[in-house]
Chain A
Amino acid sequence: MQNTLALVVTTPPNSNLTTSAINLVHTAINNNIKLVGVFFYQDGVLNAAKHLSIPSDEFQTLKQWQQLNSDFDIPLYLCISAAEKRGLSDELTDDKSNIDAAFTVSGLGELVELTSKADRVVQL
């Protein structure tokens, strides 16, 4: 049976731990480990900021998350109360929401769900 992994990201996009999280997802995919989801909590929610603009010669975290979501159907769950505390909101109209569309707005209940579902949980 395929092993499952849940990943919890608690660091902002400019942290190297976020890069490690993305690398971990790629390695899991290459090793036939099923990612049941990535949960973004604490400063990790800033990864979902749509208007993030990182200099082009630096690691593009947002693009990486978008690709993981579109190419491999990896769900990206955002804790909305942690996000709103940091200026992100989905209550603005669609074209004005500052949360990237690759992310699914959710809450801590999803963290409980992922924790119980996955064979292994990793937090970065």
Chain B
Amino acid sequence: MTDLTQVNKAVAIVNTQAPFSCAAGKEALDATLIFGSFEQAVSLFFIGDGVFQMIGSQNATSIEAKDYLKTFSALEFYDIDNIYVCQQSLTERNLSTNFHIDNVQILTSAEFSQRLHEHQVIYRF
């Protein structure tokens, strides 16, 4: 096995889809947590409909969906604290910042882009 600690590469996981209509959000979170458990530098980004994944008080069970949003609380455990949300995407959807997790940074489009460019690998979900 490669010695992962020798590799200095930051991974961005970019979420672009709403939480419960398809599995993308959950599969993105699964991947994020695995990167975290291998102690890799990983950040979460939410843009477009992906910002719906941040909104609190959602009732997944009413549509027979697994409430994977609860699992976001595990991010802290893996020291994943770079969580970025696109402000423009929130505004376009008339969404408040009533998020279900703390420690979320809301960025302008320019800041969002700049932060994304600081990563060497980008996975889009």
Contact = CB atoms under 8 A, between A and B. Distances in A.
Interface of A: 8, 10, 41-42, 81-82, 85, 107-109, 111-113, 115-117, 121, 123
B40 A123 contact: no
Given A108-B30, A108-B31, A116-B7, A85 B1 contact: no
Contacts of B30: 81, 108
B46 to A, nearest CB: 18
A116 B35 CA distance: 10
Contacts of A117: 2, 7
Interface string B95-125: 0000000000000000000000000011111
Dominant SS among interface residues on chain A: helix
Contacts of B74: none
B1 A112 contact: no
Interface size of B as a range = 20 to 34
Contacts of B27: 41-42, 82
Contacts of B9: 115-116
A112 B23 contact: no
A38 B29 CA distance: 20
Dominant SS among interface residues on chain B: mixed
A111 B125 CA distance: 15
B31 A111 contact: yes
A81 B27 CA distance: 10
Contacts of A41: 27, 31
B4 interface: yes
Interface in B51-95: none
Interface string B15-53: 000000001100100110011001010000000000000
A112 B34 contact: yes
A102 B23 CA distance: 26
Looking at A111, A113, A115, the one whose CB has the most chain B CB atoms below 10 A away is A115
